[in-house]
Amino acid sequence: MRTVKRVHPAFRDDIGDLVTRRPVPGPAIGHVGAFLFLNHHGPQAYPPNNRGLPFGPHPHRGFETVTFILAGELAHTDSAGHASIIRAGGIQWMTAGSGIVHAEVSPADFKRDGGPMEILQLWVNLPARLKMTAPRYVGAQAEAIPAVATGSGATIHLISGAFGDARGTVDSLTGVFLSWVEIAAGGSVTFSGLEGRDVLLYAVRGMFHVEGTPVAHFHLAELTPGDAVTITASEPALFLFGHAAPIDEPIVAHGPFVMNSEAEIRQAFLDYQAGRFGIAEIVEA
């Protein structure tokens, strides 16, 4: 069984009036295998007539972004022609691949009316063979995501990968397992098949325990090696859980690009500046 090697607090790094915490990367942890970056925005309440989220059009290349909308709603547009508005409980999975420009902003009615907002955004690395793959996008509302009840007080919202007979909404290019999990007081859940995998475990709300070690909200649990992990809770909690095969390649990241060499980063900037990523326009809805 895996145990907790170290608990890492999320670093507070607000973006204007957007409450933001970042567990990865942090002072003592650069990345968790293929899981490169995690921002936790909120929880907070926006007043009426607000400016909304600040993530206007910007480029990416060489990785994937997965956005979990826990509260509020999020409008997505990109230069590959995808557009959606995803509500609470849904997700957005974008493969930037060879290059894309996207915007993630608040819809017009949210800016007008305000309301609660909490989202997680995770960056997932791609291996060299897939860094220049064609961009793609999946937007899924809560009702399209399997909610697997374990019978032991936990509900697994299955984004990608398999749990029992259920399969996630997204077919990951690299076999990544991703979920967010609600667990009741006194509940538990065990994930197995983790040998040789890099595991991401982040406490969003409440507190849980791994083999007796507590992990409170806004903390990342770095785990020891092993084939399985059991997570228990003495109070209601919500956490992000994922695992992925290691990518034994150099990681060279600069701003919105993640590649394998400095030369590839320079080329990404040149291609973006030359307009080869296309244009994403913010659509008011």
The confidence score (pLDDT) of residue 283 equals 62
**End-to-end CA gap in the chain:** 48
Q: What does the pLDDT average to over 222-239? A: 98
The confidence score (pLDDT) of residue 220 equals 98
> Is the per-residue pLDDT at 285 higher than 70?
no
pLDDT, one tens digit per residue, over 28-84 is: 999 999 999 999 999 999 999 999 999 999 999 999 999 999 999 999 999 999 999
Task: Name the average pLDDT for the chain.
Answer: 97
Asked if residue 168 lies in contact with residue 179, where contact means CB atoms within 8 angstroms, the answer is yes
In the chain, % of residues over pLDDT 90:
98
pLDDT, one tens digit per residue, over 19-30 is: 999 999 999 999
Query: Which own/partner pairs from 5-11 qualify as long-range (CB within 8 Å, at least 24 positions apart)?
Result: 5/222, 5/223, 5/224, 6/222, 7/213, 7/215, 7/219, 7/220, 7/221, 7/222, 8/219, 8/220, 8/221, 8/222, 9/218, 9/219, 9/220, 10/40, 10/202, 10/218, 10/219, 10/220
The confidence score (pLDDT) of residue 254 equals 96
Residue 272 and residue 231: Cα distance in Å, rounded? 43
* Local structure of residue 262 (DSSP, 8 states): H
> Is the per-residue pLDDT at 284 higher than 70?
no
Asked if residue 112 lies in contact with residue 106, where contact means CB atoms within 8 angstroms, the answer is no
> Could you tell me the CA-to-CA distances from 207 to 23, 70, 181, 198, 252 in Å, in that order?
16, 17, 12, 22, 34
Flag the least confident range among 82-86, 90-94, 100-104, 278-282: 278-282
Q: 280 pLDDT band (50/70/90 cuts)?
A: confident
Q: 168 pLDDT band (50/70/90 cuts)?
A: very high
In the chain, % of residues over pLDDT 70:
99
Residue 115 and residue 49: Cα distance in Å, rounded? 10
pLDDT, one tens digit per residue, over 199-224 is: 999 999 999 999 999 999 999 999 99
pLDDT, one tens digit per residue, over 252-270 is: 999 999 999 999 999 999 9
Asked if residue 117 lies in contact with residue 71, where contact means CB atoms within 8 angstroms, the answer is yes
Q: What does the pLDDT average to over 86-98? A: 98
Question: Can you say how many angstroms the Cα of residue 61 is from the centroid of all Cα atoms in its chain?
Answer: 16
The confidence score (pLDDT) of residue 40 equals 98
Helix segments in 158-251, DSSP class H: none
Q: E-strand spans in 80-152? A: 83-87, 91-95, 100-105, 115-125, 136-140, 147-149
